[in-house]
Amino acid sequence: MPSHEVTQLLDAVTRGAAHAAEQLLPLVYEELRRLAAGYLDCENPGHTLQPTALVHEAYLRLVGGEASAEWQGRSHFLATAALAMRHVLIDNARRKRRDKHGGDRQRVELVDQPDPATDEDERLLALDEALTRLANADAAAAELVQLHTFGGLSVEEAGKQLGLSRATAYRQWAFARAWLRCEIGDPRQ
């Protein structure tokens, strides 16, 4: 693209010709996109602003503002565009730091976080397998755990259902908890 055509369009934009701004963008877009990509390469990973959005924001500030600058050619326009991109990035960073936009919170990718439902399912399956093994070792203790854990009864109520004294029910519960901890390694049981 000849440099003089860009300069003519820049002059027309300065004079306020709206059609010139529309014709200018396709001529300088690739250079602006390279500038934007260069800026964003220096940003932290996970930046939410993409090069295309940065180009459009900066371009709107350059040619869409009320006060247009007088550019002395393509290189001056690109230098001004680089400065406008810098200001867009700074404004974006300031906006993110505001309390209503999350303040100093850190972005966390959800794929890195374990799925609580999956963990709970795995824990439940491990408990079921361990209870089956406990039933083979001590059926009364396994039944007490089932009534207490799945039936919602207190240890005393579960013991009463099984015809156990309060002291025996608590001994069975202590034994079953220790046994299950060894089997599945879950301190909550």
- Residue 188 pLDDT level (bands cut at 50, 70, 90): very low
- Check: pTM over 0.75? Answer yes or no: no
Alpha-carbon span 76 to 52, nearest angstrom: 21
Phi, psi of 46 (to 5 degrees): 85, 10
Res 166: pLDDT? 94
Q: How many helices (H) and strands (E) does the chain have?
A: 8, 0
Alpha-carbon span 43 to 37, nearest angstrom: 10
> What domains sit in the chain, N to C, each tagged with a CATH number?
3-101 (1.10.1740), 116-184 (1.10.10.10)
pLDDT digits (tens, 9 = 90+) for 152-176: 788 998 899 889 999 999 999 999 9
pLDDT digits (tens, 9 = 90+) for 22-31: 888 788 888 8
Question: Number of C-alpha atoms within 13 angstroms, CB side, residue 52?
Answer: 1
What residue has token string 């300065």?
A: 14
